[in-house]
Structure formats: structure tokens, C-alpha cells
Structure 1
Amino acid sequence: MMNLTNTLSKNWSMLFIRGLIATVLGVITWFAPEASLNILLLFFAGYFLFDGLLRTWVAWSSKQHNPYWRWLLIGGVLSFIAGAVTLFAPNVTAILLLYYVAAWAITIGAVEILVAIKLRAEITGEWFLIITGVISVVFGLYLVFNPSAGIHTLLWLVATYAVVFGTLIMGFSLKLKKLATHVN
């Protein structure tokens, strides 16, 4: 029978890599926040523009046999508009990104707390995941209720969050690695 502990412990290295990447990105953002923001916004703009062009092309080329081609076209136009706004009004995108990050952090935090509660019946030391979840929810709520803090503050907070989150996930993965060696 496969339980959650076995599944996670067999994949402990993926969790470790996830934590390491978060930590590295956090440290880079601490030392180069303006560059991190510009790169992130350019990435979003490029993705939105490419997505818009691709959707528009697919819609246009399939309009003869696809009754939903108009929906594809609307999606393409909206993606293209999002890309243009990101390029020409990056402050708007930065604020929207703030709310996106907030929603992501709250959702991920809630999921991690629920998984930790489930793990509580199977292992001890699930507090790494509970703390990670609580920090995620608190971070997300802080962003929602303090949007005027500014995008640079957000970058500093995201960097700090990434380092703390990454470190805790790496700690949790090492606990899972110990469990994996005892199971095998």
C-alpha cells in the first residue's frame, strides 16, 4: 500500500531541488532586485505576446472547421493586450503581479498545511511543512492588505520568503530522505 509518506520520501530529491532553486532565486533577488523585476516583467511580456500570436494564428487557421475559433481569437487578443500592457505600462503589471503572488502564496500555504495535517497521522516532524504553509498564508495576506508597500518591497519580501521557504523545504526533504533510507 502506497501512502503519502512513501510517495514523498521516494521523491525527496525533487523537494530538495525545489527548495534549492527557491533559495538561490531569493538570494539573487536580494542582490539585484531591479534586474530581477525587469527580467520577470520581460519574461511575462514575451510569454503573453507569443501566446497571443499563437492563439490568434490557431484561431484564424482553424476558423473553417472549428466552431470555437472566435474564443481562441478572443484569448489571443487578450494575451496580446496583456503583453503590450506589460511592455508599455510595467507598473500596472507589477501591481497585478503583486496580487497574483499573494493569491499563489495563500493557496500554496493552505495546501501545505492540509498536507502536513494528513502527514501528522503518518510521521512526526511535519512541522517544517506546517511552518512553511503558515508563512505562505501570512505572506500572501500581508501583500493583499498592504499593496501600497510597493513592488520593490514585494521583491525584497519575495526574496526573503523564497530563502525561508526554500530552506524549510530542503530541511523537510532531508527528513524525508532519512525516512526513505529506513523504508528501503
Structure 2
Amino acid sequence: MRRQLMWMLVARGTAALLFGVVALVWPGVTVLALALLFGVYALVDGLALLTSAFRRQGDAAHRAAHATGGVLGTAAGVVGIGWPGVTAFALAALIGAWAVVTGTAEVWAAVRFRHELHHEWVLFAAGVVSVAAGVLLWTRPDVGALAIAQVIGVYALVSGALVLAGARRLRGTAAAGRPVRRARHA
């Protein structure tokens, strides 16, 4: 189970890093291309979460959180790919909504499973970054495609790095043979 979770985190983190690099390297990219890039990224992220939800054993709440995030990510990806002619304002709203919802789910999961995970701080930090980026996009959707690309690019790089750090930490605990569940400190 840890191995599947680790590879899901690697897929999500890698997709986020690639999306972030593209968004920052080509900040003058058209809204159409940005929408397509976001759509592919959200679709990969959503499918990875859905795969994890259906392959996981154990806690139903954790599986439900993965399934919810997966459905939302897949839906956002389909909208981004299927509706690429969206305006910068609508793109900012779509990406902002996705970032707030997935970030909130990550924070909830980090708090809920803090005694079961060895990387809860990474999940919590990724969730906070996601919510902050989403709120920033909601409060200033009028700044234009270039600024949106930069905010999204930085958010994707930070989020991807945090998720990959969680995968690396999970790999280290699996290699050391440490149990996933920790004793609760009083």
C-alpha cells in the first residue's frame, strides 16, 4: 500500500513540476495553451488520485478523500481541455476553485491522518500553498494571462516539490521498514 501511495505522489509531483516549469518558461503563452496545460495537469492529478482511491485498502474516509479529489481534478481537467477558449478571468476562477478545493482536502487529510502518516507536514504545507494560490487567483482574476501563468507556475512548482518530498519521505520509511502508524503522544 505504501508503494502505491508513493508512486501516486511521484506522478502528482512530477506532473505539477512539469506544469510549473512550462508555465514559468513560457509566461507569454496564450490563454488557450494555458487552459490546455492546466487541463492535462489536473486530469493527470485527478486520475492518480482516483487510482489511489480504488487501489487502497483500509480507511474508508481516506479513500473517500482521494476519490473526491480525483473526481474534482478529473472534472477540472476535462473542462480545461474541453473548453480551452476560456477567457483569462474564467480560467483564473476555474484554477482558483480547483486549488482551493484540493488544498482544503489536503489540509483536512493531513490533520485527519496526522498520526498515521510520516509526511503529514508536507501534505499540510501543499494544501496551504494550494488554498493561498486559489484565493490569490480569485481575488485578482483581472491581472491577465501573464500574471496568472506566473502565479500558477510558482504554485505548481512549490506544490510539486512538496508532494515529491512526501513521496521521498514515504519511500524512506518503507525502506527502513518502519510502520506507517505511529504511537500517539499524550
Q: Normalised by the shorter chain, which TM-score bucket?
A: 0.5 to 0.7
Work out the CA distance in 2 between the residues paired with 1:120 and 1:94. Answer: 37
Q: Note the residue ranges of structure 1 that are not aligned, 5 or more in a row.
A: 1-6, 45-78
Q: 2:133 matched to 1:139? A: yes
Aligned to 1:122: 116
Aligned residue pairs total 136
List per-residue Cα deviations over 1:89-145 (Å, max 9, x = no partner).
Answer: x5xx22111100010000000000011012212234411111111111111111111
User: Quick one: distance in 2 between partners of 1:161 and 1:16?
Assistant: 17
Please, what TM-score do these two structures have when normalized by structure 2?
Answer: 0.64
RMSD: 2.7
Please state which structure has a larger fraction of its residues in helix: 1
Shift in CA distance, 176/138, structure 1 to aligned 2, threshold 3 Å: same
Contact 1:29 1:36 in 2 (8 A): no
The answer to whether the Cα contact below 8 Å between 1:9 and 1:179 also exists between their aligned partners in 2 is no
Gaps in structure 2 of 5+ consecutive residues: 39-78, 180-186
The separation in 2 between residues aligned to 1:128 and 1:43, in whole angstroms, is: 25
Going from structure 1 to structure 2, the CA distance change for 1:125 and 1:18 (only over 3 Å counts) comes to closer
The sequence identity of aligned pairs, in percent, is 29
Cross-structure match for 2:6: 12
Contact 1:18 1:166 in 2 (8 A): yes
2:90 matched to which residue of 1?
Answer: 96
Larger relative contact order (CA 8 Å, sep ≥ 6): 1
Amino acid at match of 2:160: G
Match of 1:48 in 2: none
Contact 2:89 2:142 in 1 (8 A): no
